Every structure is written in structure tokens, then in C-alpha cells.
């Protein structure tokens, strides 16, 4: 078996590192220092740099101006973005592009994908449902009326919905089938109410009141929503991994320089053991992430469906990122709470990722249900 990344995937990582090298985490707006949302919009200057480096077009097919890479490549770039707390909708836009390319009508793909590739069209995704705890597709009802579709309901915690050009959101039909709608945030019948994430970023509650869309703007393939959800979840795990790796590196650097009783605190056994435990967490997060990304990319057969691998990745990511940041705060002592130091920003982002992924116990229950349905032999 060859576990190395392809040359194209490695080139994407190098390009991402070059772009993100210009981002200083200390300059990222802090939720502890900013009342309300930390900013009205995402980092447009960084977004333009990502477009110029062809990183927004990675998952888009060559016929639409992209590189035609897979979710693994997207996760590799997301991992790098989290290390510097990049304030861009890279996950949402990338997941939307992959889904639109695979399931949308040809006319819609030809209209939006080339514009997404060059950064001129920003697409975000609604995946929180009404409360963040229920299946997102159940929060919006969809029904056909002639050749059009009518959507009614609420999606909560939609990232940067106020400034994105379009929102890709799930809904359900009277028969219980999941569909996706690509709707402009200024479309008649759309109402946006401001919300704020734990990391201080701007979110929105999106209300749909008899929103009418054409059949071209509605994706009815029964696999589209599951595919989109898997890419979003796996991408979130990649963000958690990148953030955790950067935080552990900060902790290692600090404890190797901070001295007590004439010795670096990194040489103390209690400190070394805690850091080693967090290193193990990160390696488990990494292994389960790439397993899940590989399954959703290749549709390879396995003892469980891909949802099982995604559930395992979520278990490790949600628990692991919390443990890594909490240990970092502990080993930094009072310095970790200093708002002139970047760690408190990483802590806020880690908590937002943990909340986005949901509790490990819920994913363990999902995994248990899959094992009951698909007994291993």
C-alpha cells in the first residue's frame, strides 16, 4: 500500500503554505477583544490571494477552470488554513463546488463553477438545521409547484450568509427525500437574522418564506445531501487537525523556553507526559481523517459504509481538539490567557469546531447503530 499523497496534492499543500505564510494569527480579530462580531465580512484580501494561487479551483473540473482534485486535496489545504486561523469560507465553498459539480444540472454547473474557481462567486452552506441538533434537511420543507420548487423553513448558524453570494441548503420533500437548493441571499422570501459564533465570526439564521426556485437551481439527486454533509464534516475534522497541530507546536516552543528551578519546564515528566498524550491524540485525528477522506473520495467498499469512517473521524476530532487546546492552556499557565498572545484565539476557534462537530457520544451512538446494521464478520 502507498500512503503518500499524490504530486498534485502535495503541490496544493505547498501553494497553500505560501499563501498562508502571510497570515499572522496575532492579527486575527479576537472575540475576547471585540464586542459583537469580530468583523462584518471574511478576509477578502486573503480570498483574492487564494484565487490567484488557484486554490479555490482545486476541486473544480478542468472544463470549468479547475484542477479536478478530490476531497483529500481540499482537506490538505484546510489543514493549513486552520494553522493560521484563516478567516475565509474555504470549507463551505469547496464542499459546495464538489457537490454542484457532481450533482447539479449542467446549465447550473456551467454558470457557477467557473465563477467559484476564480473567486468571483462566493457560496456558503447551511448545515445546522433549525437548532444545530437535528438533521439539517428536516428544517426546511420543499414542494414542487409546476416547474418550480417552493421552500419554507429555517436554517441556523450559516457562516457569512450576509456577504456570500449564494447559499446551498438542504430541505426535504413531502415524501421525505432530501433535496438541495442554491439560493441567492437577496432572493425574495429570504430573511437573515444576525448570529455570532463562539469564535466571533458572523453567522446568520436564514428564514425561507415561500422561496421560489427553478428546477435548475434545485438538486434532487438522492445522494447529493449526504455527499455534501460528508465533505463538510471531513473538512471540519481537517480544520481541527491543523489547529491542534499548530497549538501543540506553540506549546512545545513555550515549554522548551520557560524555565522553573533553572530547567525548561518541558524537561519535567508531568509536562512531557501531557504533551505526549496530545501528540497521540493528533496522530489518531490524522489517521481517522485520511481514512474518512479516502472513503468519501473513492467510494471504496468496506465492512461499514463511509458514514462509519466519518463518525470515527468526528469522535477523535471533537474530543482531540478540545484536549489539545485545554492542555496547551494548562501548560502555558497564565500566559495562555494573555490577550496579547495568540493562544486564546485558537481556543475560541477550537471550541467553535468542537461545537460544529457535536459531542463524541452522539457519534459513538451513530457508529453503534451502523455496527448493529452491518455486523462485522
Dump pLDDT digits (tens) for 219-258.
999 999 999 999 999 999 999 999 999 999 999 998 888 8
CB-neighbour burial class of residue 246 (10 A; exposed 0-12, middle 13-18, buried 19+): buried
Low-confidence ranges of the chain (pLDDT < 50): none
Say if residue 278 is in the same domain as residue 170. no
What CATH number corresponds to the domain at position 311?
1.20.140.10
**Host H or E run for residue 275:** helix 269-298
Say if residue 102 is in the same domain as residue 200. no
In 64-147, which ranges are E strands? Answer: 123-125, 140-145
pLDDT for the residue numbered 1: 57
In 36-139, which ranges are E strands? Answer: 123-125
Instruction: Using only the alpha carbons of the chain, give its radius of gyration.
Output: 21
Is residue 129 included in any domain, yes or no? Answer: no
Is residue 29 included in any domain, yes or no? Answer: yes
CB 290 within 8 A of CB 332: no
Say if residue 158 is in the same domain as residue 78. no
pLDDT for the residue numbered 339: 86
- Count CB-CB contacts under 10 A for residue 71: 25
Pairing status of strand 259-260 against strand 218-219: unpaired
Say if residue 231 is in the same domain as residue 215. no
What Cα–Cα distance (Å) separates residue 224 from each residue in 29, 66, 233? 35, 21, 14
CB 91 within 8 A of CB 230: no
Among the candidates 219, 252, 274, a domain finishes at 219
Q: Residue 182: what are its φ and ψ, rounded to 5°?
A: -105, 105
Q: Which residues contact 89 (CB under 8 A, 6 or more apart)?
A: 42, 122, 123, 124, 159, 160, 164
Is residue 128 included in any domain, yes or no? Answer: no
- Count CB-CB contacts under 10 A for residue 92: 24
pLDDT for the residue numbered 258: 82
Give the C-alpha separation, 111 to 99, whole Å. Answer: 14
Say if residue 277 is in the same domain as residue 319. yes
Give the C-alpha separation, 196 to 205, whole Å. Answer: 10
CB 170 within 8 A of CB 136: yes
CA angle 219, 209, 158 (to 5 degrees): 65
DSSP state of 146: T
In this structure, is the dihedral angle defined by the CA atoms of residues 337, 237, 113 and 169, taken in order, positive or negative?
negative
Is residue 27 included in any domain, yes or no? Answer: yes
Q: Residue 212: what are its φ and ψ, rounded to 5°?
A: -100, 125
Q: Which residues pair with 213 in a beta bridge?
A: 149
pLDDT for the residue numbered 263: 84
Is residue 1 included in any domain, yes or no? Answer: no
Is residue 267 included in any domain, yes or no? Answer: yes
Nine-digit cell at 86? 484563516
Diameter of the chain by CA atoms? 79
Sole residue written with cell 484565487: 51
Give the C-alpha separation, 20 to 22, whole Å. Answer: 5
Structural domains counted in the chain = 3
Is residue 311 included in any domain, yes or no? Answer: yes
What CATH number corresponds to the domain at position 207?
2.40.110.10
DSSP state of 338: -
Domain assignment of residue 100, given as a range: 7-121
Q: Which residues contact 75 (CB under 8 A, 6 or more apart)?
A: 234, 235, 237, 238, 289, 290, 293
Amino acid at each position: 500500500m502507498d500512503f503518500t499523497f499524490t504530486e498534485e496534492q502535495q503541490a496544493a499543500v505547498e501553494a497553500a503554505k505560501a499563501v498562508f505564510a502571510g497570515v499572522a494569527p496575532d492579527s486575527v480579530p479576537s472575540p475576547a477583544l471585540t464586542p459583537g462580531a469580530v468583523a462584518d465580512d471574511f478576509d477578502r484580501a486573503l480570498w483574492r490571494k487564494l484565487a490567484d494561487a488557484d486554490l479555490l479551483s482545486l476541486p473544480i473540473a478542468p472544463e470549468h477552470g479547475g484542477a479536478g482534485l478530490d476531497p483529500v486535496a481540499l482537506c490538505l489545504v484546510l489543514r493549513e488554513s486552520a494553522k493560521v486561523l484563516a478567516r475565509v469560507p474555504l470549507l463551505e465553498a469547496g464542499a459546495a463546488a464538489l457537490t454542484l459539480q457532481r450533482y447539479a444540472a449542467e446549465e447550473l454547473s456551467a454558470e457557477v463553477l467557473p465563477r467559484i474557481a476564480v473567486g468571483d462567486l462566493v457560496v456558503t452552506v447551511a448545515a445546522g438545521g433549525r437548532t444545530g441538533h437535528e438533521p439539517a434537511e428536516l428544517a426546511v420543507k420543499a414542494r414542487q409547484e409546476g416547474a418550480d420548487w417552493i421552500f419554507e423553513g429555517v436554517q441556523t448558524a450559516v457562516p457569512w450568509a450576509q456577504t456570500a453570494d449564494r447559499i446551498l441548503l438542504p430541505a426535504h420533500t413531502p415524501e421525505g427525500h432530501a433535496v438541495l437548493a442554491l439560493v441567492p441571499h437577496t432572493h425574495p422570501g429570504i430573511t437573515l437574522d444576525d448570529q455570532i459564533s463562539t469564535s466571533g465570526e458572523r453567522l446568520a439564521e436564514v428564514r425561507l418564506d415561500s422561496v421560489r426556485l427553478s428546477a435548475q437551481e434545485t438538486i434532487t439527486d438522492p445522494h447529493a445531501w449526504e455527499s455534501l454533509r460528508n465533505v463538510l464534516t471531513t473538512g471540519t475534522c481537517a480544520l481541527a487537525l491543523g489547529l491542534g497541530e499548530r497549538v501543540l507546536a506553540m506549546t512545545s516552543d513555550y515549554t522548551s523556553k520557560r524555565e522553573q528551578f533553572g530547567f525548561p519546564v518541558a524537561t519535567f515528566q508531568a509536562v512531557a507526559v501531557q504533551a505526549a498524550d496530545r501528540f497521540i491524540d493528533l496522530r489518531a485525528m490524522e489517521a481517522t481523517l485520511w481514512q474518512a477522506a479516502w472513503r468519501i473520495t473513492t467510494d471504496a467498499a468496506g465492512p461499514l459504509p463511509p458514514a462509519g469512517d466519518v463518525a470515527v473521524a468526528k469522535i477523535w476530532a471533537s474530543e482531540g481538539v478540545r484536549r489539545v487546546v485545554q492542555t496547551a492552556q494548562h501548560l502555558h499557565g497564565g500566559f495562555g490567557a494573555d490577550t496579547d498572545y495568540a493562544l486564546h484565539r485558537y481556543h475560541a476557534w477550537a471550541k467553535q469546531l468542537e461545537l460544529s462537530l457535536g459531542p463524541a457520544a452522539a457519534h459513538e451512538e451513530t457508529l453503534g447503530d451502523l455496527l448493529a446494521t452491518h455486523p462485522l464478520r
